[in-house]
């Protein structure tokens, strides 16, 4: 549910709901042994990166290693938003240049596209002004990342440590891995990634999965395909016996060569901590109870979505990190506190093993 085509009365009702402030008591609660779990996960991710280096003789990020396409566009903030949605960079109508990367979520850059797995979408928003988080000082960008599944299987630091450990031990032996996953109380959440619908990336809806500060409030966000062409592509799914192993990037190239893309950026605000947990990202916030509300439109003009120079520059030099951005869009909850440690550690290993410096691009002019 969203407010794209809702009437004035419905919008008024949404404006008058009891949204929870980001600094309210109970929004964040650090779990016991969380710091220890996070440090263990950082080490595990580095171990997985080294294993991929042994296969490819190049070090990639611990997750979202396979680039499917990179495009440039603009994020257009709607100028007629109700007061409760006028938060952070969305507090007035504006346009921001963006560069976006489509990816496959696992850490194997050679993963066959015909294998169903979650997909990713990352966006760097340029020309952002305001008070930045410590990690983003001097870098006038807002990094935003998405995943094609609304719930995060690595739901908190403890779960992440347990699941990554299982993947390292049994990732090459699926029956053994599933035996351990099926013994867990969250088995459905953990196995869901292997049953996702394997469809065109331009028709895919992407989610933040975790919660973020949204100005005065707390929210999750999503990106919704909005052109008629994109919506129609949802009917097209990967055919394992007929399509090539790089079908997703081929489909993207074909689409972006001939079509413009349009997405709605929507936010889902926190109203009930018991029903909308911030510390546990494995539960979907019910959109029937807590509607998605549109704040901006992402526009991507026709272009080549698989530029080799751009791909190499992104993979060797760029890090997308939700802690690179404004305080008014601060990441919240355990999974995001984990990212605050794991992402820099993963990036540092990549730079060391590939002898490439991290580049924090500050404007679109610095992007190939």
Task: Tell me the pLDDT tens digit for each residue of 310-331.
Answer: 999 999 999 999 999 999 999 9
Q: Across residues 350-363, what is the average pLDDT? A: 95
Beta bridge partners of 214: 217
Beta bridge partners of 294: 266
Residue 10: its pLDDT value, please? Answer: 79
CA 250, 255, 259: angle at the middle one, nearest 5?
160
**Residue 5 in this model has a pLDDT that exceeds 50:** no
Considering the chain, what percentage of its residues have pLDDT values greater than 90? 96
* Nearest-angstrom CA–CA distance, 128 and 133: 13
Residue 6: its pLDDT value, please? Answer: 54
* Nearest-angstrom CA–CA distance, 7 and 268: 18
Asked if 99 contacts 67 with a C-beta cutoff of 8 angstroms, the reply is no
C-alpha torsion 68→363→133→41, nearest 10: 30
Residue 225: its pLDDT value, please? Answer: 98
* Nearest-angstrom CA–CA distance, 194 and 330: 31
Report helix, strand or coil for 346. Answer: helix
Q: Across residues 334-350, what is the average pLDDT? A: 97
Average pLDDT score over the chain: 95
Asked if 279 contacts 26 with a C-beta cutoff of 8 angstroms, the reply is no
**Residue 3 in this model has a pLDDT that exceeds 50:** no
List C-alpha distances in Å: 319 to 8, 181, 231, 291, 294. Answer: 41, 31, 30, 31, 27
List C-alpha distances in Å: 211 to 322, 323, 346. Answer: 11, 13, 22
pLDDT tens-digit map of 224-240:
999 999 999 999 999 99
Residue 9: its pLDDT value, please? Answer: 56
Report helix, strand or coil for 138. Answer: coil
List C-alpha distances in Å: 282 to 131, 159, 211, 287. Answer: 30, 10, 11, 15
Backbone φ and ψ for 263, nearest 5 degrees, come out as -125, 150
Nearest to 157 by CA among 340, 345, 28, 337: 337
pLDDT tens-digit map of 27-85:
999 999 999 999 999 999 999 999 999 999 999 999 999 999 999 999 999 999 999 99
Q: Which two tokens stand for residue 316?
A: 């060797």
**Residue 8 in this model has a pLDDT that exceeds 70:** no
Strand (E) or helix (H) holding 229: helix 228-233
Backbone φ and ψ for 189, nearest 5 degrees, come out as -65, -45
CB neighbourhood size of 274 (10 A): 6
Asked if 47 contacts 345 with a C-beta cutoff of 8 angstroms, the reply is no
Q: Which two tokens stand for residue 83?
A: 């007061």
Residue 36: its pLDDT value, please? Answer: 98
**Residue 11 in this model has a pLDDT that exceeds 90:** no
Q: Tell me the pTM.
A: 0.95
Cβ burial of 354 (10 Å; 0-12, 13-18, 19+) is middle
């Amino acid at each position: 549910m969203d407010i794209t085509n809702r009437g004035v009365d419905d919008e008024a009702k949404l404006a008058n709901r009891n949204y929870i402030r980001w600094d309210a008591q109970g929004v964040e609660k650090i779990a016991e042994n969380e710091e220890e779990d996070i440090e263990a996960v950082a080490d595990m991710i580095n171990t997985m990166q080294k294993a991929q280096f042994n296969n490819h003789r190049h070090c990639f990020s611990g997750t979202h290693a396979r680039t499917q396409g990179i495009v440039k566009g603009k994020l257009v903030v709607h100028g007629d938003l109700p007061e409760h949605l006028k938060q952070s960079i969305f507090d007035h109508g504006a346009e921001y240049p963006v560069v976006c990367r489509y990816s496959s979520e696992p850490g194997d850059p050679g993963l066959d596209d015909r294998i169903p797995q979650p997909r990713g979408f990352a966006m760097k928003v340029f020309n952002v002004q305001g008070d930045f988080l410590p990690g983003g000082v001097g870098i006038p960008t807002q990094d935003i990342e998405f995943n094609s599944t609304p719930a995060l299987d690595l739901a908190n630091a403890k779960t992440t440590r347990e699941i990554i450990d299982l993947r390292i031990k049994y990732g090459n032996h699926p029956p053994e891995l599933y035996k351990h996953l099926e013994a867990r109380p969250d088995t459905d959440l953990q196995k869901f990634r292997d049953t996702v619908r394997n469809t065109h990336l331009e028709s895919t809806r992407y989610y933040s999965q975790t919660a973020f500060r949204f100005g005065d409030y707390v929210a999750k966000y999503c990106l919704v395909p909005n052109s008629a062409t994109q919506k129609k592509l949802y009917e097209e799914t990967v055919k394992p016996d007929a399509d090539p192993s790089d079908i997703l990037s081929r489909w993207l190239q074909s689409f972006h060569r001939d079509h413009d893309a349009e997405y709605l950026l929507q936010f889902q605000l926190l109203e009930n901590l018991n029903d909308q947990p911030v510390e546990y990202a494995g539960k979907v916030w019910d959109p029937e109870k807590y509607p998605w509300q549109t704040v901006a439109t992402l526009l991507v003009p026709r272009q080549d979505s698989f530029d080799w120079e751009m791909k190499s520059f992104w993979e060797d030099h760029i890090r997308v990190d939700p802690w690179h951005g404004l305080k008014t869009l601060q990441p919240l909850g355990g999974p995001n506190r984990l990212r605050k440690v794991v992402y820099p550690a993963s990036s540092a290993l990549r730079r060391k093993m590939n002898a490439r410096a991290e580049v924090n691009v500050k404007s679109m002019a610095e992007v190939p």
